[in-house]
Amino acid sequence: MSDSTQPLILLVDDEPDIISILRTKLEAAGMRVVSASNGQEAIDTAKKEKPDLIVMDVRMPVMSGTEAVTKIKEDPALKDTKVVFLSNFGEEEEINAWIDQKFAREMGAMDYMKKSEDLGKIVTKIQQLLDAKG
């Protein structure tokens, strides 16, 4: 049973298991969740649902997360929507994580998180981003 005062999260990922796991954790933390499996679906769902925050995978079929975020940020009705990128860069790329966070901010996202991150940390980070201004 969902309460419209709960924050609405749009999860965008082409991996159904990621959506399922994150949905379960976010709903347990008191959030409502809608999902999309590619960038184009993300744009369509964001226009319809007006989420409080979008968790966007970077690499997906049909349209990448970066393309989708660019289009979302160009839409006057969605330009202020909070976005965080979620991707599966490997441990060997840890040294370049700061580059990814800089890239995320340049693309209009608030942050960049790894899919391999502890789920509790991901949920906590999403809660912090929801509370953040701008």
- Give the pLDDT confidence of 102-114 residue by residue, as tens digits: 666 666 666 767 7
Residue 123, pLDDT > 80, answer yes
**Residues 124-131: contacts with CB under 8 Å, at least 24 apart:** 125/84, 126/9, 126/26, 126/31, 126/53, 126/55, 126/84, 127/29, 129/53, 129/82, 129/84, 130/7, 130/52, 130/53, 130/82
DSSP annotation of 98 reads: H
pTM for the whole structure? 0.84
Read off the pLDDT of each residue in 12-20 and give the average, rounded to a whole number: 92
pLDDT tens, 42-94? 999 999 999 999 998 887 888 888 889 989 999 999 999 999 888 775 544 54
Backbone angles phi, psi at 49, to 5 degrees: -95, -20
State the pLDDT at residue 110.
Answer: 65
CATH code reported for the domain at 8-131: 3.40.50.2300
pLDDT tens, 23-33? 999 999 999 99
